[in-house]
Structure 1
Amino acid sequence: MFWESVLIAFEGLKANKLRALLTMLGIIIGVGAVIAMVSIGLGVQQKVQSSIASLGSNLLIVMPGANSPSGGVRLAAGSNITLTRKDAEAIGEISGVNYVAPAVSQSFQIIYGNQNWVASVSGTTAEYLSIRNFSVASGTFFSDSDDNARSRVAVLGQTVVTNLFGDVSPLGQTIRIGQAPFRVIGVLESKGQSANGQDQDDIVLVPLSTAQDRLMGITHVNNISIQAASAEVIDKVQSDVTTLLRTRHRLAANVEDDFSVRNLTALMATVQETTGTLTMFLGAIAAISLVVGGIGIMNIMLVSVTERTREIGIRKALGATFSNILLQFLIEAIVISVTGGLVGILAGVASARVISLVAGLNTVVSSLAIFAAFSVTIMIGVFFGIYPARKAALLDPIDALRYE
């Protein structure tokens, strides 16, 4: 009886193709919208997470200036020079710290031949590669001996290489940073954009001492990057760094920090929560059209019951029971819903691909979202099909046979 009811349902769809298509349209749009919206949300989440992860794992960044109530950094007079290389060396002695890399940065005009490019020049130490997940594509990175000797050597990001050298190999070439000549000893592998849209390849790295003495004429550092041994000890390391720097800067108990320690692991958790909420919100908005599609199914099934009143009367007269009639119309509603759901899945996946190609957005098609959307279509078919099916099953056979 079950498969017979399924065949009857498909025969009904064939007999009223346009009506069936319009009925399924709400389900198709609903399922497609849910899959597409969730894919966009997951794509945004993945992009932001990968951008943060590209900065480094188990990463703490110490910045000059006190934390403001709004969560940013408030710089008091002179507080932007509170961090020194000695602070970084002291942090390196803390238990649970793998690497420490103090850094200074400033924009300079980079010149090679008749080409010039403005890029961020960062002075740092050899540990910077390990902490920030950079790797050298060609050549070498500068060493501690280069830093101690204040050598004029530079490692270039891919954006700088492209704009200054084109197809020419930069290794061994001499560039000018400001007015100072530097020899190119290496090229970094591409990392792409960061979470805030900044080009991470538009960078020139030089030894810290060279940058401080020969380029910027400063003794302080702009930030200190710290890699903790694991995610389990990062909170303790953050606390120890805060205590150490307060002691080194001779800050009284009632004086606020003249520095801030940013925990990128905590930032990642916050971003995951925020983007997860965004994804759920997008999916919930799209799911409203599924409910609208369900109402359409109920409407068309009520029309079908009215049209087939005599057929129901004949079936009952021939011995069809309440459950037989109920099952027949319920299956018809489910068939419409499931068919629309399958087409909607294809439409949703295709929409996600088109959005990715046309709009340039990163989309991630989730099998969980597909399964959830399809499960909801089945439940909608059952929920909105119950009332019309029960109404058909409760028809009196005598009244049904008399119906014109």
Structure 2
Amino acid sequence: MNLIDTVRIALRALLKNKMRAALTILGVVIGIAAVTTIVSIGQGASRLVQGEFQTLGTNMILVLPGNTKRGGVRQGGAPTLTSVDADLIGQQCPEVLASSAVVWTQGQVIYGNENWNPKEMLGVGPDFLTVRNWQLEAGGFFCSSDIESNAKVCVIGHTLIPKLFQTTNPIGQLIRINNVPFRVIGILEKKGANMVGDDQDNVVLMPHTTVRKRINGSPLDNVHAIMVSARSTGKMNVATKQINSLMLERHEISPGDEPDFTVQDTTEIAEALGMITGTLTLMLSAIAGISLLVGGVGIMNIMLVSVTERTREIGIRMAIGARGKDILRQFLIESVVLSCIGGVIGLVLGTGASVGATVLINMYKPGTQWPIVVSIPAAIVAIAFAAAVGVFFGYYPARRASRLDPIDALRYE
């Protein structure tokens, strides 16, 4: 008997008991649907994390002030970085594409009768947009001469336009920041909210020297952080080592002493978060996969019942020339067909559930923009695993059927 005839006979046998077949595959449907949903949502979470770190900048490296010691006592939060550090990192580290000093401040922005408190007010360098991989929608950005002259110019994010200017073109307008007049020279390209819902466009950028001297009133050259962009992702480690080496030399840190700065590679943070989401996805998928085992046991039980019910049929087929391997193949095919049907239905339901869950997440948390991910490899693995379940749990009933004695089978009532 050829394979096509065996498949036809197996399908005919399954169609005789549609309700029993439907109940048999229910466990497989639930298992595959659960695994597909969890894997899709987990992969969406990983992409969201990676995407959020991409919005921070291109191959971003952060240099932050560390702790200093005075008289053997640790002094936390000391201003240990300067704008000269930022400039030299960009000039003397070959694998650094760009660097920018960053000075934070807070205050109120006033235009006419309107006022607004931006989420972020930053003093930055002329290469800040390169580091952050941010474009301008209109106008221009300040340059090195603006940094040197403490120019009172600024670039604003999209959120400030309706809050302050309504229909007025902001370019060229004078605003007051903590009672210091600034001229708007540019508008940043819209970025939207990040993964925690913070508006990235609610920002004002100014020359760091202007912020430090005119707003913060500091006579020192200290900055709060230095943002650095490596030339490529593959050069991140080399760039980090070059920055460390330069800073240790500039700050005269002796071997064995604790540096007064910290260099953080955001790629490592993104990979760590991706590993966490991946591990959680794997664990939840394993838990959901238990229902596949339950479904497999159900298939085995039903196939054993089917073998018992069809003992006389098996005897007749053997009496007219069917071999044991034909019987084995028939019952294996029935088991695999049950599992694969359940796998396909579960895959469709799981895909729909993952899309629906993602839509709900984005609906109730608009700032997240959780990506919809339908994993083709996961779908292939799900169907293959369903077939494997059918083979594994269907082999024993099929083997039992193939070993029946034809005379005893014909006598069976």
Q: Fold match, TM over 0.5?
A: yes
- Determine the C-alpha separation between the residues in 2 that align with 1:375 and 1:9: 20
Q: Who is 1:234 aligned against?
A: 236
- Determine the C-alpha separation between the residues in 1 that align with 2:66 and 2:225: 11
Distance apart, 1:198 and its partner CA: 3.7
- Determine the C-alpha separation between the residues in 2 that align with 1:214 and 1:394: 93
**Are residues 247 and 95 of structure 1, via their aligned partners in 2, closer, same or farther at CA, if it must alter by over 3 Å?**
closer
Q: Who is 1:18 aligned against?
A: 19
Contact kept? 2:67, 2:76, Cα under 8 Å = no
Q: Who is 1:185 aligned against?
A: 185
Question: How do 1:3-14 residues align onto structure 2 when only pairs under 5 Å count?
Answer: 3-14=4-15
Distance apart, 1:79 and its partner CA: 4.1
**Are residues 76 and 140 of structure 1, via their aligned partners in 2, closer, same or farther at CA, if it must alter by over 3 Å?**
farther
- Determine the C-alpha separation between the residues in 1 that align with 2:196 and 2:260: 25
Question: How do 1:239-258 residues align onto structure 2 when only pairs under 5 Å count?
Answer: 239-258=241-260
Question: How do 1:146-185 residues align onto structure 2 when only pairs under 5 Å count?
Answer: 146-185=146-185
Question: How do 1:353-372 residues align onto structure 2 when only pairs under 5 Å count?
Answer: 353-360=355-362, 361-372=370-381
Contact kept? 1:79, 1:258, Cα under 8 Å = no
**TM-score normalised by L of structure 2:** 0.90
- In structure 2, the residue corresponding to 1:181 is in which secondary structure? strand
Contact kept? 1:80, 1:222, Cα under 8 Å = no
- In structure 2, the residue corresponding to 1:250 is in which secondary structure? coil
Gap regions ≥5 residues in structure 1: 68-74
Deviates more, 1:11-20 or 1:381-390: 11-20
Question: How do 1:212-231 residues align onto structure 2 when only pairs under 5 Å count?
Answer: 212-218=212-218, 219=220, 220-231=222-233
- Determine the C-alpha separation between the residues in 1 that align with 2:19 and 2:74: 71
- Determine the C-alpha separation between the residues in 2 that align with 1:402 and 1:162: 88
Q: Who is 2:328 aligned against?
A: 326
- Determine the C-alpha separation between the residues in 2 that align with 1:265 and 1:176: 37
TM-superposition CA deviations, 1:213-259 (whole Å, max 9, x none) = 11111231000112223344432332232233233333343431111
Match for residue 84 of structure 2 among 67, 75, 86? 86
- Determine the C-alpha separation between the residues in 2 that align with 1:357 and 1:23: 32
Q: Who is 2:287 aligned against?
A: 285
Question: How do 1:109-124 residues align onto structure 2 when only pairs under 5 Å count?
Answer: 109-119=108-118, 120-124=120-124
Distance apart, 1:345 and its partner CA: 1.6
Deviates more, 1:51-60 or 1:238-247: 238-247
Distance apart, 1:11 and its partner CA: 2.2
**Are residues 273 and 78 of structure 1, via their aligned partners in 2, closer, same or farther at CA, if it must alter by over 3 Å?**
closer
Counterpart AA for 1:290: L
TM-superposition CA deviations, 1:63-87 (whole Å, max 9, x none) = 01249xxxxxxx9536431111122
Contact kept? 1:52, 1:194, Cα under 8 Å = no
- In structure 2, the residue corresponding to 1:187 is in which secondary structure? strand
Q: Who is 1:145 aligned against?
A: 145
Distance apart, 1:362 and its partner CA: 3.0
Distance apart, 1:145 and its partner CA: 2.3
Counterpart AA for 1:118: N
- In structure 2, the residue corresponding to 1:93 is in which secondary structure? helix
Aligned residues: CA RMSD: 2.1
Gap regions ≥5 residues in structure 2: 363-369
TM-superposition CA deviations, 1:9-45 (whole Å, max 9, x none) = 2223322222111111111111111111111111110
TM-superposition CA deviations, 1:247-304 (whole Å, max 9, x none) = 3333343431111111123323333333332332232222222221111111111111
- In structure 1, the residue corresponding to 2:12 is in which secondary structure? helix
Distance apart, 1:211 and its partner CA: 0.8
- Determine the C-alpha separation between the residues in 1 that align with 2:77 and 2:310: 83
Deviates more, 1:365-374 or 1:248-257: 248-257
- In structure 2, the residue corresponding to 1:80 is in which secondary structure? coil
Q: Who is 1:273 aligned against?
A: 275
- Determine the C-alpha separation between the residues in 1 that align with 2:400 and 2:168: 79
**TM-score normalised by L of structure 1:** 0.92
Contact kept? 1:64, 1:223, Cα under 8 Å = yes
Q: Who is 1:377 aligned against?
A: 386
Contact kept? 1:101, 1:224, Cα under 8 Å = yes
Q: Who is 2:98 aligned against?
A: 99
Counterpart AA for 1:383: F
- Determine the C-alpha separation between the residues in 1 that align with 2:334 and 2:292: 18
- Determine the C-alpha separation between the residues in 2 that align with 1:168 and 1:339: 61
- In structure 2, the residue corresponding to 1:150 is in which secondary structure? coil
